[in-house]
Amino acid sequence: MRYALCAMEGQMQASGEGGGAAATEEAGAPADAATPLGSCSANVRQLALLASCAVCEWLPSLAHQARFAADKGLTEHAVVLLARVLTLLPAVALQCCAVTHGSDMSQRGAISGNSTADGAGCSAVLTAAARYDEGCAGGTDNGGSAAAVDGGGGGDGGWRHLLLAEVDVVPLLGLAMQLLEGHRGVELSDWPSRWYACELICSCCALAAACPEQVRQAAAAGAGAAAAASTAAGTAAQAVITPPWRPELLRALAAELGEAAEEVGRDGGSSSCGDGGSAVVGDGAGCACEPFSGVPSSGSTADGAGQEGVDHSGIHPTTLSAAAHAADLLAVQLEGWREGAVAGAVTGLLDAAARAIGWRGEDGALTAAVLVPPGELRRQGLLRGCGNPGCANLEGDSEAGVKLKGCGRCGTVGYCCRECQLEHWRAPGGHKEACGRAGGEEKHRC
């Protein structure tokens, strides 16, 4: 993914592209409002579609595997999988912010005026989000976002359905917090756990800004579980599962990250990888946090690790401090929701969510800027396979040659044969449920 994005950035810079609709208007050519890549070359568009398709395919699968590993007690494997998910979630959640807070997002370009060098990244993210609000939402107001969740599509191009229905992201981030608390005891003594905590807070802030009602419900449920735990006694108290969306946990993380920022700044980047069972990331080449590219200075990446004020993974003290501030901000928001506040204004979380991308420098901003919504992927005519995940049809020379017949009710899913359609329809969590939601809005579709 990262190599595809770097290649895309190189092509955009070489050809003078990268302005999307703005660049098109300057050239006097008609802009494609549906995507910020309308003015880019075919190669750049193809890479963007590929990267977006990978995000849509990988996120649900990685989330499922992480849950499976956690259920089996394979904590380290679950953490490794969740670490990969956390690198993608903030950018996807910010696409939802463009619809949930569309009228406000276009004004957020200057949010990083008091920050250091992450302004360009934040501005690029918010500009891209505003473009998606104008192009993909098609004028949908903020009130239409709930329909997008239920219908699996709507003005956001399908991002909310991907997060809430396919990834089931609110419980997933709750699991990530529980694993961090149980595996680490909220003691971020080495850089892999610090990286994991930063990415987790990035994702939580972005999700709370994108889907405030769902996070509010999780916080309220956590408050009820905490009350039950406090009144229980003996073995009954031990049986109550500690709720994950807790302000107390976020404040503990904020304190640890603040101390880590002071330590890194004081030691001048001498921190190294500890041996405390760190298994947050690993690709068979030693302990490395390659997905984290976030030294928040112009053009910097994790290759800057070891520079003054930067720890072994390339995490700058500014990043750790910003993550601590975001954790405190989210804790305050969760406390308000626990006390009965409505899931309304979350402007502060929008700022934190945008900085969550900006912390990673150009890589993070580019990721958010080039993501194409699932609905747009379908419109672009990408190769579609049989909608049945269990399809074993090997007829023909390639999958491209298989003729698909669309669902007669919604038309959004195609199948190679009737047997596959029936199997997927009857399967738990199959097409029957999704088709029922779509059918409520599109009853008259063939």
Torsion of CA 134, 137, 139, 145, to 10 degrees: -130
Q: Which value, in Å, is the radius of gyration of the alpha carbons in the chain?
A: 22
Cβ within 8 Å of residue 319, ≥6 positions away: 198, 294, 295, 296, 359
Residues in the chain: 446
Q: How far apart are CA 173 and CA 63, in angstroms?
A: 10
Structural contact between residues 328 and 316, judged by C-beta atoms closer than 8 angstroms: no
Closest CA to 287 of 301, 298, 299, 271: 271
Q: What is the pLDDT of residue 345?
A: 55
Residue 347 to residue 362: CA distance in whole angstroms: 23
CB within 8 Å of 172: residues ≥ 6 apart: 63, 66, 67, 82, 85
pLDDT value at residue 65: 92
- In sequence order, which residues have a C-beta less than 8 Å from that of residue 10 and are 6 or more positions away? none
Helices 169-184, 247-267: inter-axial angle, 10-degree rounding: 60
pLDDT tens figures, 53-65: 888 888 999 999 9
Taken in order 185, 188, 194, 200, the sign of the CA dihedral is: positive
Pair of tokens at residue 386? 């049989």
Q: Is the pLDDT of residue 17 over 80?
A: no
Residue 190 or residue 47, greater confidence: 47
pLDDT of residue 279: 33
Q: What are phi and psi of 415, to 5 degrees?
A: -130, 150
pLDDT for residue 152 is more than 80: no
Any idea which of 177-181, 311-315, 431-435 has the lowest mean pLDDT?
311-315
**pTM surpassing 0.85?**
no
The ranges assigned to domains in the chain are: 2-379, 399-441
Query: Which pLDDT does position 268 carry in this prediction?
Result: 58
pLDDT of res. 354: 59
Contact 264, 310 (CB under 8 A): yes
Query: Strand 405-406 relative to strand 414-415: parallel, antiparallel, unpaired?
Result: antiparallel
Query: Tokens standing for 206?
Result: 């972005």
When mean pLDDT is compared over 26-35, 195-204, 354-363, 436-445, the highest value belongs to 195-204
Position 147 confidence tier, pLDDT thresholds 50, 70, 90: very low
Q: What is the pLDDT of residue 422?
A: 92
Tokens linked to 408:
């007669």
Q: For residue 352, what pLDDT band results from cuts at 50, 70 and 90?
A: low
Q: Which of 49, 23, 6 has the alpha carbon at shortest distance from 371?
A: 49
Three-state secondary structure of the chain: CHHHHHHHHHHHHHCCCCCCHHHHHHCCCCCCCCCCCCCCCHHHHHHHHHHHHHHHHHHHHHHHHHHHHHHCCCHHHHHHHHHHHHHHHHHHHHHHHHHHCHHHHCCHHHCCCCCCCCHHHHHHHHHHHHHHHHHCCCCCCHHHHHHHHHHCCHHHCCHHHHHHHHHCHHHHHHHHHHHHHHHHCCCCCCHHHHHHHHHHHHHHHHHHHHCHHHHHHHHHHHHHHHHHHHHCCCHHHHHCCCCCCCHHHHHHHHHHHHHHHHHHHHHCCCCCCCCCCCCCCCCCCCCCCCCCCCCCCCCCCHHHCCCCCCCCCCCCHHHHHHHHHHHHHHHHHHHHHHCCCCCCCCHHHHHHHHHHHHCCCHHHHHHHHHCCCHHHHHHCCCCCCCCCCCCCCCCCCCHHHCCCEECCCCCCCEECCHHHHHHHHHCCCCHHHHHHHHHHHCCCCC
The whole-number average pLDDT for the span 241-254 is: 78
| 154-158, 359-363, 435-439, range with the lowest pLDDT | 359-363
**Residue 406 pairs with which residues in a beta bridge?**
414
Spatial distance between the Cα atoms of 46 and 37, rounded to a whole number of angstroms: 10
Q: How confident is the model at residue 67 (pLDDT cuts 50, 70, 90)?
A: very high
Question: Where does the pLDDT of residue 99 fall: very low under 50, low under 70, confident under 90, or very high at 90 and above?
Answer: low
